[in-house]
Every structure is written in structure tokens, then in C-alpha cells.
């Protein structure tokens, strides 16, 4: 028996999942797609398929209750799961919610958490259909499973990108990460300067991006209206660079993206300068933006070109080229996937 010890940080979340599940076999024809995408795909009939995804949020790892209101946390916990369904170009319909709570939480506190969950269900037209509750000796844990539907021909996975496809992203990037920097700074000020009250004025946009993100239901609806079917798709939860690598890996392709094309809001740029950070790095590696990253065929360019919801940031290349960032100076550099790693807890 080997005495060697492998640290989980070396594998990261997705490496660990791949390692642990590599010998599991698929035994049922109804399992169309299992582990390896934003959601599993299960066959119902020839006209409809189910999408199933689950996510867990752990206090001290994924959220800090010093600056995260419980109502916002409940809302966000739902959103991060719905985002995975939208990332398959599908429509979420139901969720289950399981929580583990320690005795430091009162009934009123849990009611506040569930008021956020209810608000998200109402906004996204989702049914809460089940779950579980149990006790915890170390804070709060929330696990949500989302179930969605789509016709087989509409579903987009990470595996469909093809050479010369265009790479598109919705919204803007890096705001959630910069919002987190502001919250962490003010937490330290609160702790060190006699509980000084935080000054969060002027940071509304990036704070909302962190504390109350939205899943891009509107983008899936808009693509349908424009008659654009993404060839591949993923949501940006772990950072643009990481998500590009997921698509490249599953599709056996490379990619070139252009630094000047990456959408970053003025608020994010201003905050990055204040923290002496490169806003491109925040956009590439910050994560938690929950925007949609997808590829489209070149023939669909005219359908989305000029639309304020979309930014065309690059194109798909040969697999041998790898994933590259073309800097503003025109220099190609290899992208590094340095996004969120739950076992490292930093970017």
C-alpha cells in the first residue's frame, strides 16, 4: 500500500470529479449525457429531454455571512443552479432545496433564507418540489438541484464547437470578483478599526453582481427569437479562461480570444484600478458572473452583430493551437485557467 498523499488542491474540483467517476458505467439508455457538462441529460421521449444539475454552497467556502444577507444568499443559491440549465440552452422548471444548519441559526434566519429562495422561484417561474433539512456542526450548507426541459435538437453542450465558429459572451465580466474585493476590504476595516461601518457607496453595480447575480434566462429566449442555435455553450461561474478550456477540451478544439473584445463595465474597470488589479485578469479568472459563453456558426454572425447583449470575443481554432489570448498589442499568449478552485479558495 502506497504512503503517498495527493492533495485535493492538485486536482481541483473538476479533476477530482473526473478522477472519482472515471470507472462508472452508464447502464441505462435514458441517460443521454452524464458527468462532464453543466447538467446531465435524461431522455423522456423523442420530443423532450430532462436537464438535471446540482450545486452546493458551503459557509466559509462559497459565502461569508459577515456581508452576505441571508435573503440574497437564498436567491443566489437558486440562480447558480438555474444558470447551469440555461447554459444547456434549456428552461428550468423545478428545484429541490436541502440545507444543513447549526444551532446558531434561528427560525427567523432560515425564514429569511427561504424568502430569497421564494423570490427566485417567482422571478424565474420555478416550482420548489422537495428537499431535505438536517443539522450541521459547522455553519450553513445549501444544496440545490435544478430540473429543466428542452427538445433534443435545441440542447447545447460543451462538445459542439467547430473550427472557425465565433466565440460569444453575454453581458460583461469581472464585476462579481471586484464586488468581492470591496466586500472583503470593508470586512477587514470593520474588524480592525473598532468596528467601523463599511463604506459601500458607489459600488452598487459590482456588489449586486456578487451578492445578487441573475441567471441569463433572457439570453436563451433571445437566441431562440433570433433563430440562433449555439454550437456549444457554458455559463461563466469559474472564470472566462476556465470555461473556454472546458469547451476546448470537450470539443477537441483551440480558441483565440481578443483582449480588447472582452466586455468589462466601467464600474469594474474603476474598481480594478482602485485595487491596483488588471481588469482583464479579473474578467478572465474572477468567476461568478453567471454570463453565458457560447460558440455560433459564422453564418449566424449577422443575426447577433451589433446586439448590445452580445460581444464577439474570438473564434475557434485547431486543437493544436491551444487556448490563446491576443493582447491589445497583438501578442498571442497562452491562457491560464486560474479561476475558482474550491480546494484552493482563491484565483
More confident residue, 314 or 189: 314
- Which helix H or strand E contains 76, and what residues bound it? helix 70-86
Q: What pLDDT shows up at residue 347?
A: 41
Instruction: Indicate whether 144 pLDDT > 80.
Output: yes
**CATH numbers and ranges of domains, the chain:** 8-150 (3.30.1330.10), 166-334 (3.90.650.10)
Q: Which of 177-191, 234-248, 292-306, 333-347 bottoms out in mean pLDDT, i.e. has the lowest? A: 333-347
Confidence of residue 130 (pLDDT cuts 50, 70, 90): very high
Q: What pLDDT shows up at residue 25?
A: 76
Assess contact for 147 and 236: CB atoms under 8 A: no
pLDDT tens profile 81-100? 999 999 999 999 999 999 99
Residue whose C-alpha is closest to residue 280's, from 177, 169, 168: 177
Q: How far is CA 86 from CA 126, 226, 236, 293, 322, in A?
A: 13, 16, 11, 11, 27
pLDDT tens profile 148-173? 999 999 999 999 999 999 999 999 99
Question: Cell triple for residue 217?
Answer: 434566462
Phi then psi dihedrals of residue 150, to 5 deg: -170, 155
Which of helix, strand or coil describes residue 228?
A: coil
Residue 73 to residue 179: CA distance in whole angstroms: 15
Beta-bridge partner residues of 143: 56, 98
With 0.85 as the threshold, say if the pTM is over it.
Answer: yes
Q: What pLDDT shows up at residue 3?
A: 65
Amino acid at each position: 500500500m502506497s504512503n503517498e498523499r495527493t492533495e485535493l488542491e492538485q486536482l481541483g474540483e473538476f479533476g477530482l470529479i473526473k478522477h472519482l467517476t472515471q470507472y462508472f458505467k452508464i447502464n441505462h439508455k435514458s441517460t443521454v449525457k452524464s458527468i462532464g457538462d453543466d447538467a446531465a441529460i435524461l431522455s423522456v421521449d423523442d420530443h423532450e429531454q430532462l436537464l438535471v444539475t446540482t450545486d452546493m454552497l458551503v459557509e466559509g467556502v462559497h459565502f461569508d455571512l459577515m456581508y452576505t444577507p441571508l435573503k440574497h444568499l437564498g436567491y443566489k443559491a437558486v440562480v447558480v443552479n438555474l444558470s447551469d440549465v440555461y447554459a444547456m440552452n434549456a428552461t428550468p422548471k423545478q428545484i429541490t432545496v436541502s440545507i444543513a444548519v447549526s444551532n446558531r441559526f434561528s427560525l427567523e434566519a432560515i425564514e429569511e433564507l427561504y424568502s430569497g429562495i421564494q423570490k427566485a422561484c417567482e422571478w424565474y417561474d420555478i416550482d420548489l418540489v422537495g428537499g431535505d433539512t438536517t443539522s450541521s456542526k459547522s455553519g450553513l450548507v445549501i444544496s440545490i438541484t435544478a430540473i429543466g426541459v428542452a427538445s433534443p435538437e435545441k440542447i447545447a453542450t460543451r462538445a459542439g464547437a467547430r473550427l472557425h465558429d465565433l466565440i460569444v459572451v453575454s453581458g460583461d465580466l469581472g464585476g462579481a470578483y471586484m464586488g468581492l474585493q470591496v466586500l472583503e476590504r470593508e470586512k477587514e476595516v470593520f474588524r480592525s478599526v473598532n468596528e467601523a461601518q463599511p463604506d459601500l457607496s458607489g459600488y452598487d453595480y459590482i456588489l449586486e453582481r456578487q451578492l445578487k447575480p441573475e441567471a441569463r434566462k433572457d439570453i436563451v429566449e433571445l437566441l431562440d427569437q433570433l433563430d440562433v442555435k449555439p454550437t456549444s455553450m457554458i455559463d461563466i461561474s469559474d472564470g472566462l479562461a476556465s470555461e473556454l478550456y472546458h469547451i476546448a477540451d470537450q470539443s477537441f478544439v483551440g480558441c483565440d480570444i481578443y483582449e480588447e473584445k472582452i466586455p468589462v463595465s466601467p464600474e469594474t474597470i474603476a474598481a480594478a484600478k482602485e485595487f491596483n488589479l488588471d481588469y482583464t485578469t479579473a474578467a478572465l479568472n474572477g468567476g461568478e458572473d453567471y454570463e453565458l459563453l457560447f460558440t455560433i456558426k459564422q453564418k449566424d454572425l449577422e443575426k447577433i452583430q451589433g446586439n448590445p447583449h452580445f460581444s464577439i470575443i474570438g473564434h475557434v481554432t485547431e486543437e493544436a493551437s491551444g487556448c490563446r489570448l491576443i493582447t491589445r498589442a497583438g501578442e498571442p499568449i497562452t491562457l491560464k485557467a486560474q479561476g475558482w478552485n474550491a480546494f484552493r479558495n482563491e484565483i
